[in-house]
Amino acid sequence: MRLLRIPWPRRYPLAYAVLLGIPIGVALFTFRYAEGLSYFSSDPRACANCHIMQEQYDSWSKSGHHHVAGCNDCHLPRSVVPKLLAKARNGWNHSSAFTLENFPEPIRIGPRNAEILQENCLNCHESFVHDIVRLQSPGDVLSESVSCVHCHKGVGHAPTRPTGPMIWIGQRP
């Protein structure tokens, strides 16, 4: 039985250059165009690189938390390895969803990221909410009624545009 012999690059250097060069070139162009290096920083402006996130960035910049917490502080784990893994997973999910335009509008947080958000709320505000969180049994899954965002939905991202008819004080409906 004769083994399949693969021609080495020295036999067909141009073919190998094209086969490797095109995907590498497209990947580098996409990384540069999408400002990929900015995602390695903690700068909240990087989250608004995608135009779809501009409203969230604008609302955060007007919120009470913008002086003390950036996007990474709330939306990523605190430990280095879990933070990098979550950043990579979110980067892949966000880039594919935004490229293929298959995401819900308005954007909603997923279950795993909601858990991370809850953990970070408790890390910063534990002294204020320890009695509420104690109501939960140690083995319980966090219920919506104990979740911080159940009552505080707009803390970091209050809508900046009205979603329905507005009634101003002093106006008749």
pTM here is 0.69
129 assigned to some structural domain: yes
Q: What is the CATH number of the domain that holds 124?
A: 1.10.3820.10
CA separation for the pair 90, 94 (Å, rounded): 6
Question: What's the CA gap between 26 and 162, in Å, rounded?
Answer: 40
Residue 145 located in a structural domain: yes
List the chain pLDDT tens, one digit each, 173 residues: 566 666 666 778 888 888 899 999 998 998 888 787 887 888 888 888 777 788 888 888 888 888 889 989 999 999 999 999 998 898 888 888 878 888 887 778 888 998 899 889 888 888 887 777 666 555 555 555 577 887 787 787 766 555 544 444 444 44
